[in-house]
Amino acid sequence: MNILDKIVADKRIEVDLRKSLIPIKQLEHSVLFERETVSLANKLRLSQSGIIAEHKRRSPSKSIINQNLNVFDVAEGYEAAGVCGISVLTDGKYFGGSLDDLLTARASCNLPLLRKEFIINPYQIAEAKAYGADVILLIASILTKNELKLFSELAKSLHLEVLLEVHNEEELHKSIMPSVDMLGVNNRNLKTFEVSLEISKKLSQLIPNDFVKVSESGISTVESIKELQAFGYQGFLIGENFMKTDNAGESAKQFIKALEK
DSSP characters for 9-37? HHHHHHHHHHHHHS-HHHHHTSGGGGPPP
- Which one of 49, 87, 108, 186 is the catalytic residue? 186
Q: What is the pLDDT of residues 138-174, one digit of tens each?
A: 999 999 999 999 999 999 999 999 999 999 999 999 9
Phi and psi at 125, nearest 5°, equal -75, -40
- Sign of the alpha-carbon torsion through 4, 68, 98, 27: negative
Active-site residue 253, yes or no?
no
Active-site residue 61, yes or no?
no
- Which one of 54, 79, 117, 240 is the catalytic residue? 54
Q: pLDDT band for 39, please (50, 70, 90 cuts).
A: very high
- Which one of 165, 171, 200, 213 is the catalytic residue? 165
Mean pLDDT for the chain overall = 94
Active-site residue 226, yes or no?
no
User: What's the rounded mean pLDDT across residues 1-26?
Assistant: 95
Q: Any idea where the domains of the chain sit in the sequence?
A: 3-260
User: What's the rounded mean pLDDT across residues 222-249?
Assistant: 94
- Which one of 79, 117, 161, 216 is the catalytic residue? 216
Q: pLDDT band for 202, please (50, 70, 90 cuts).
A: very high
Predicted pLDDT of residue 236: 98
CA–CA distances in Å: residue 100 to residues 107, 204, 254 = 10, 35, 28
Active-site residue 250, yes or no?
no
115 in Cβ contact with 88 (< 8 Å): yes
Active-site residue 217, yes or no?
yes
233 contacts: CB under 8 Å, gap ≥ 6: 50, 200, 204, 213, 214, 215, 225
Predicted pLDDT of residue 66: 67
CA 238/CA 220 separation, integer angstroms: 7
- Which one of 217, 240, 251, 253 is the catalytic residue? 217
Active-site residue 116, yes or no?
yes
- Which one of 116, 129, 213, 253 is the catalytic residue? 116
User: What's the rounded mean pLDDT across residues 173-192?
Assistant: 91
- Report the CATH number of the 3-260 domain: 3.20.20.70
Active-site residue 165, yes or no?
yes
